Amino acid sequence: MPAGVAIDPAKIAQQMRRRQLGYGRGPRMQFEPDSVEFLAGLRKGKTLGSPIAMAIKNKDASIDRLPVVTQPRPGHADLTGAIKYDHRDIRNVLERASARETAARVAVGAVCRQFLEPFGIDLASHVVGLGSVRAKPAAATIAQIRAKAEPTPLRCLDAAATKAMVQEIDACMKVGDTLGGVFEVVVEGVPLGLGSHVHYDRRLDAILGAAILSIHAVKGVEIGDGVLGATLPGSKVQDEIFYSKAAGFTRSSNRAGGFEGGMTNGTTVVVRGFMKPLSTLKKPLRSVEINTKKPVVGTVERTDVTTVPAAGVVGEAMLAFEISKAMLEKFGGDSLKEIQRNHRAYLKQAAAF
Amino acid sequence: MPAGVAIDPAKIAQQMRRRQLGYGRGPRMQFEPDSVEFLAGLRKGKTLGSPIAMAIKNKDASIDRLPVVTQPRPGHADLTGAIKYDHRDIRNVLERASARETAARVAVGAVCRQFLEPFGIDLASHVVGLGSVRAKPAAATIAQIRAKAEPTPLRCLDAAATKAMVQEIDACMKVGDTLGGVFEVVVEGVPLGLGSHVHYDRRLDAILGAAILSIHAVKGVEIGDGVLGATLPGSKVQDEIFYSKAAGFTRSSNRAGGFEGGMTNGTTVVVRGFMKPLSTLKKPLRSVEINTKKPVVGTVERTDVTTVPAAGVVGEAMLAFEISKAMLEKFGGDSLKEIQRNHRAYLKQAAAF
Amino acid sequence: MPAGVAIDPAKIAQQMRRRQLGYGRGPRMQFEPDSVEFLAGLRKGKTLGSPIAMAIKNKDASIDRLPVVTQPRPGHADLTGAIKYDHRDIRNVLERASARETAARVAVGAVCRQFLEPFGIDLASHVVGLGSVRAKPAAATIAQIRAKAEPTPLRCLDAAATKAMVQEIDACMKVGDTLGGVFEVVVEGVPLGLGSHVHYDRRLDAILGAAILSIHAVKGVEIGDGVLGATLPGSKVQDEIFYSKAAGFTRSSNRAGGFEGGMTNGTTVVVRGFMKPLSTLKKPLRSVEINTKKPVVGTVERTDVTTVPAAGVVGEAMLAFEISKAMLEKFGGDSLKEIQRNHRAYLKQAAAF
Amino acid sequence: MPAGVAIDPAKIAQQMRRRQLGYGRGPRMQFEPDSVEFLAGLRKGKTLGSPIAMAIKNKDASIDRLPVVTQPRPGHADLTGAIKYDHRDIRNVLERASARETAARVAVGAVCRQFLEPFGIDLASHVVGLGSVRAKPAAATIAQIRAKAEPTPLRCLDAAATKAMVQEIDACMKVGDTLGGVFEVVVEGVPLGLGSHVHYDRRLDAILGAAILSIHAVKGVEIGDGVLGATLPGSKVQDEIFYSKAAGFTRSSNRAGGFEGGMTNGTTVVVRGFMKPLSTLKKPLRSVEINTKKPVVGTVERTDVTTVPAAGVVGEAMLAFEISKAMLEKFGGDSLKEIQRNHRAYLKQAAAF
């Protein structure tokens, strides 16, 4: 993180809160606001250029005193993690593997957002699918998301769909089942030319895809209309190029989700994550006790029906982090002032192309 | 690449050929078999442990003599790459950005496959969707893919779907349109415990996802039933855990595509790529000449209708590469003998868990 | 860090204390024992395989309240850091650039030592030069260092030299000057074959050299008799190879400091760091106030005459860290048990060569 | 490598020739000029921004046909490499481990130099010690090195020392012995603020030190007066800071070799490498045949007495490479034009500090 970036703790707290919201969460989440403490890297409210360390304390008892776990939950890291790391107490795996870890990601993302802000880069997310319900497809601006989706129980733009989603959640809650869904992260203000076509591992769309896939329970990702586009003819999928003196080069549409050749093309970045339903059901799944090797059914540990809205917030954080890295790679620099100067001069160069 | 891996050039040539096949390719591809020359890293047919260098020569004229390009093609790296790298000749971007680059990936993957072979790790791919046609969903073994999909024109397991796909390709060819689709890569024999839950960037499913997304025109990826799973209740998505003396821990199904908590769980790895239709149509798209800024329509450069089967071959190569890296990280070692010894001992440890 | 490594806090505390000792330190150091708190990665005294986080709290006032600094000290990061990161308050540079940061390195190194211990890898350091005094050259074992150097005021094996060093320190203290020197780090039990000749950036001697050079005020490094060897004819510098059934391959001497071709050769690793005298003198150096651009003389901040013995302790920590990484790369594995098994099998293979 | 850098093959050829010169080389070197072929990354004489591939062909027979080697040479990678990589034919190690590999480094460095040239960054080297002879210590500018050292047989600035060095070489040649020495690499024009104090692995002096240590037979390195400085009192080692309107901040001297706090401080970078004598003597060293385990004496393979001047050329190449990386990290950018613009603006900012 470069020097000179103003960090407002209130903005971090706001993101931490957003991660804990969403219709379908159990009661636990609503009573534990996470607070972030800075251990290093800030002075008088600004970054120093040196590493930043933050801590989020758990309110639970010491991990040392928590009971031994020997029943691996299907769909979790439990069994595989225990065998890989040679643990006989699954507790040694599950605490770290827990989605609680995404609190740290959101904290890091909240710092990155404040780095991106002076460049006019902003991020938002909304839910576009929950269980069997899909919101009406429509390109969304951040302003629209903030105004219309953010205040709703599932952070969804489509009011009719929201109603159906809430009903599906309520129905699931009654039978002790869970729901997955699809969230969309939208990033505006990203300059043309982040990422690169020159090496497969520098394609920013692939990097962002991995960042989204790394979120707990996310098992699919698409850039723009990736899944739908695979079913259409080429004549219906492309974004044609136009030019006007006022706007420079523009595209007729944004089916590519802001990317061409692995590089941002200056339009809005759109990435969607497909999240499977939580693996912990009230009606538990069959498993095996690891010592006796006898069949068991999993213990019931949580009561969330769905966390798709929260996963969208984590998705924003992940993209904020990866886009920050791409900005630093593209513009170099050690102080915010220097990076902004390099950024401005590049935008001018691009506009004069 | 460790020392002592036997490299058979015929196996590399076979993979290079597979990349060039598939119904829907233009005539060009069928006349240019790519040949791979080893510049370093091999001696007497075995790897040395030192870096491997390979070259695939182009048959085209020298890149220096190819004509200047000033009309960026929508959906390609052309315009963005030219602005980012400050090129006024788009040729400087398009040659490197071309999917021709995947020949190098397949060559590398073909080497990696021969590293993986002694560990019993094998890869195959098949087409599960093309244009509007979807193959009947069914878990596929590599033996089945080799026997039933590989010899067919689109490397698809479902004969009825294949017929419909061929018809859709023929129809597109007539009107000069293109088609995308969905390929599935299947990896068998991957040991439990590659990747990790401990850091987001060590989750192997995310790494494999990025590798697939990095392939030209791939805009979506799913692990197991990622996209479908997002629409189902939790009770229909999980893979329960069982145990038998003979087989050890097993799962009732493989909806997770071989991953739990970012780690391979010992079952078959299944990853699908969603490929958009090729951006170069016979009926070209609108664009802008970069010097005059006047509207133009793109030039027609190629006549492939679809390359989804080839993309599957590239997908195999990418996964072979990334899984090789994960194997080296998990088992360490400098010679094949050493890695095999570590692998065997770990499998024994895992079986005794 | 793999799972299953027992971490004894007392061993960490012992290393932290060692960093604070040595004749020639000012009074401050003797009253502030650093204590290390584990924030993550341990449970019931063992590593989990997940990341380890440690914190060492400062006793000083909050960094926010410390006064503004505008006089850069020659020989420190002050002026360059302020310009690079665009700080007008040099405090923003000097706190992070302070050698106080090596407390964190020693803490990390103390964890790594406990990982290395089960492999029979041990590290020690001693002072071989201080100011104009040089200890009598002699190959030193860790047992000798522990017995004869560790308890002495300068951690030097040569009693006569120690006496002369203490006198030189006393003389410097009177006139307010400072002294540098040379420390040697010795590592025993390192298996043959860490590092590699195949790429310049995998040569472990170069990596260890960088680790030592990264320590504050260290401006030179040698592997074995590197500096002396450059002045001798080849016939006096090499280590000939012998073989006996009992000992396997052995060398006649260890002028190479345990390395051939960038790889450990199974003999003792010997690396020396050349430390310049501390830049902060009682008789301060000329500098420039950064706002007025007027000449000033530096402020007097500390009263250490020399910290070469402490730098040796930091050197041990750096080598423990880098050798741990090299061990993990060579032997792979996720649990201590697995790595030990791979290590044992490799030693057997090497012995049978 | 960014786009738009003009690459002159003649400048590469010149560096390749420089690596092959120097009094004390055997006759072989003088008849084999290495030529570099570009396989990728260039078009019409300029870099494209995509990866550069170069090949240097060996004139020797195919590596497959070269005879089996079973006698490891002391001081080489031979024995350790064979055991580590499990080779019974030492040929599999020694070809890659050969200092012949530095031809590739010099080729890469020659490309990097042409990237650095537009920024006014230039590099030169000279020999400051050979065997028991040391050149008179004196700060050297590149202009002086080019004028006075480059044309001499050992690329040494001190004519009297050169004479003594030549005599020592002649004497060694007669008895079949070899000689090491010390080379100094000087880099001018490096902007203030490359590298960083914030993390140990970003200190550029440590990175450059590792790059020098990675050269074959180099066993020691110093930044500025690192080795000498360790013996002096602090009052004689520092570089005081001054300011004048015309020159900005200046130092009274450059004992620190251009670095403070791991960052370049805007003065000349000075790094010295200590090279041990070549391990291959005419009067061969004792070793062991690896199959019979019987004592043997090494075979005589080459007749160079010393290659210290050539090692200096390799040292230039390594620093050119690492400083190029540091420039790209500091200034970002994808085209030479963009990086130059960022560089100019930063220099202006630094001058106005």
Tell me the per-residue pLDDT of C183-200, one tens digit each, with 9 for 90 and over: 999 999 999 999 999 999
Q: Report yes or no on C6 lying in a domain.
A: no
Backbone angles phi, psi at C291, to 5 degrees: -90, -45
Q: Give the DSSP letter of residue C155.
A: -
Give the SS3 label for residue C34: coil
Residue A228: partners with Cβ closer than 8 Å, 6 or more residues away: none
Min distance C328 CA to chain A CA atoms (Å): 14
Q: Report yes or no on A41 lying in a domain.
A: no
Q: Do B85 and D335 touch (CB under 8 A)?
A: yes
Residue A135: partners with Cβ closer than 8 Å, 6 or more residues away: A126, A127, A128, A129, A156, A157, A158, A161, A162
| Cα–Cα nearest to C256, from C203, C211, C180 | C203
DSSP string covering A126-140? EEEEETTEEPPP---
Residue pLDDT, tens place only, C148-158: 999 999 999 99
Contacts of D353 in chain A (CB under 8 A): none
Q: Report yes or no on A69 lying in a domain.
A: no
Backbone angles phi, psi at C39, to 5 degrees: -95, -25
Residue pLDDT, tens place only, C68-87: 999 999 999 999 999 999 99
Tell me if D225 sits within 8 A of D237, measured CB to CB.
yes
User: Who among C49, C328, C332 is closest to B198 (CB)?
Assistant: C49
Report residue A151 as tokens: 């205040």
Q: Do B229 and A276 touch (CB under 8 A)?
A: yes
Q: Reduced to 3 DSSP states, what percent helix, strand and coil does chain B have, rounded to the nearest 5?
A: 40, 20, 40
Per-residue pLDDT for D315 more than 90? Answer: yes
- List the beta strands (DSSP E) in chain C: 3-6, 36-40, 42-43, 46-48, 53-56, 122-130, 133-134, 181-188, 218-223, 241-244, 248-251, 259-260, 263-264, 269-275, 286-288, 295-297
CA–CA separation, B277 vs B1, rounded Å? 35
Q: Give me the CATH number covering residue A153.
A: 3.60.150.10
The whole-number pLDDT of residue D30 equals 56
| Percent residues over pLDDT 90 in chain C | 88
Q: Do A281 and B180 touch (CB under 8 A)?
A: no
| Percent residues over pLDDT 90 in chain A | 88
Question: Residues D159, D161, D163, D166: is their CA dihedral positive or negative?
Answer: negative
Assign 3-class secondary structure to B224-282: CCHHHHCCCEHHHCCCCEEEECCCEEEECCCCCCCEECCEECCCCEEEEEEECCCCCCC
Contacts of B209 in chain A (CB under 8 A): 209-210, 213, 221
Q: Do A233 and B209 touch (CB under 8 A)?
A: no
The residue segments making up the domain with residue C121 are 102-351
Q: Do B86 and D4 touch (CB under 8 A)?
A: yes
User: Who among B198, B328, B333 is closest to C51 (CB)?
Assistant: B198
Residue where the block lists tokens 């040659």: B95
Q: What domain count does chain A have?
A: 1
Per-residue pLDDT for C298 more than 80? Answer: no
Q: Do C331 and B342 touch (CB under 8 A)?
A: yes
Stretches where chain B sits below pLDDT 50 are none
Q: Which residues does A contribute to its contact with D (CB < 8 Å)?
A: 49-51, 193, 196, 198-199, 328-334, 337-338, 341-342, 345-346, 349
Q: Report yes or no on B124 lying in a domain.
A: yes
Radius of gyration over every alpha carbon of chain B, rounded to an integer in angstroms = 22
Q: Report yes or no on B85 lying in a domain.
A: no
The whole-number pLDDT of residue C55 equals 96
Report residue B187 as tokens: 């990896």
CA–CA separation, C46 vs C118, rounded Å? 14
Residue C151: partners with Cβ closer than 8 Å, 6 or more residues away: none
Residue pLDDT, tens place only, A138-184: 899 999 999 999 999 999 999 999 999 999 999 999 998 999 999 99
Min distance B156 CA to chain C CA atoms (Å): 38
- List chains adjacent to chain B, taking adjacency as at least 3 C-beta pairs closer than 8 Å: A, C, D
CA–CA separation, C294 vs C71, rounded Å? 10
Most confident of C138-142, C264-268, D21-25, D29-33: C264-268
Mean pLDDT of D297-324: 90
Higher pLDDT, C32 or B209: B209
User: Who among A84, A96, A338 is closest to C86 (CB)?
Assistant: A338
| Cα–Cα nearest to D130, from C232, C223, C225 | C232
The whole-number pLDDT of residue C328 equals 98
User: Who among A44, A49, A87 is closest to C64 (CB)?
Assistant: A44
Contacts of C63 in chain A (CB under 8 A): 43
- List chains adjacent to chain D, taking adjacency as at least 3 C-beta pairs closer than 8 Å: A, B, C
Comparing alpha-carbon positions, the chain B residue that sits nearest to D84 is B334
Contacts of D329 in chain A (CB under 8 A): 332
Residue pLDDT, tens place only, C308-335: 999 999 999 999 999 999 999 999 999 9
Q: Do A92 and C2 touch (CB under 8 A)?
A: no
Q: How do beta strands D248-251 and D42-43 pair?
A: unpaired
DSSP string covering A222-244? EESSHHHHTTSBGGGT---EEEE
The whole-number pLDDT of residue C302 equals 61
Comparing alpha-carbon positions, the chain C residue that sits nearest to A337 is C86
Mean pLDDT of C227-244: 94
Residue pairs spanning A and B at CB distance below 8 A: 317
User: Who among B53, B92, B338 is closest to D48 (CB)?
Assistant: B92
At residue A302 the predicted structure's pLDDT band, cuts being 50, 70 and 90, is low
CA–CA separation, A251 vs A243, rounded Å? 9
At residue A282 the predicted structure's pLDDT band, cuts being 50, 70 and 90, is confident
Min distance C202 CA to chain B CA atoms (Å): 11
Contacts of C330 in chain B (CB under 8 A): 332-334
Residue pLDDT, tens place only, D115-128: 999 999 999 999 99
User: Who among B4, B55, B337 is closest to D39 (CB)?
Assistant: B55
Interface test with C, best of D133, D202, D213 (most C CBs within 10 A): D213
At residue D238 the predicted structure's pLDDT band, cuts being 50, 70 and 90, is confident
Q: Do C242 and D86 touch (CB under 8 A)?
A: no
At residue A285 the predicted structure's pLDDT band, cuts being 50, 70 and 90, is confident
Q: Report yes or no on D278 lying in a domain.
A: yes
Min distance C198 CA to chain B CA atoms (Å): 5
Min distance B69 CA to chain A CA atoms (Å): 15
The whole-number pLDDT of residue D28 equals 60
Q: Which residues partner with C124 through β-bridges?
A: C186
Per-residue pLDDT for A130 more than 90? Answer: yes
Q: Report yes or no on D39 lying in a domain.
A: no
User: Who among D196, D338, D349 is closest to A349 (CB)?
Assistant: D338
Contacts of A49 in chain D (CB under 8 A): 196, 198
Interface test with B, best of D36, D47, D48 (most B CBs within 10 A): D48
Distances (CA, A) of C220 to C273, D15, D201: 6, 28, 16
Interface test with D, best of A201, A263, A341 (most D CBs within 10 A): A341
- List the beta strands (DSSP E) in C88-193: 122-130, 133-134, 181-188
Q: Report yes or no on B259 lying in a domain.
A: yes
The whole-number pLDDT of residue D303 equals 73
In this prediction the ipTM stands at 0.97
CA–CA separation, A125 vs A21, rounded Å? 13
Mean pLDDT of A26-43: 82
A298: left (phi over 0), alpha (psi -120 to 50) or beta: beta
Residue D126: partners with Cβ closer than 8 Å, 6 or more residues away: D135, D140, D145, D149, D150, D155, D156, D157, D183, D184, D186, D312
Min distance B307 CA to chain C CA atoms (Å): 37
Residue pairs spanning A and D at CB distance below 8 A: 57
Interface test with D, best of B48, B64, B340 (most D CBs within 10 A): B48
| Cα–Cα nearest to B220, from B129, B141, B136 | B129
Cα B214–chain centre separation: 9
Tell me if C197 sits within 8 A of D96, measured CB to CB.
yes
One-letter amino acid at B69 equals V
Backbone angles phi, psi at B230, to 5 degrees: -70, -15
Q: Do B74 and A238 touch (CB under 8 A)?
A: yes
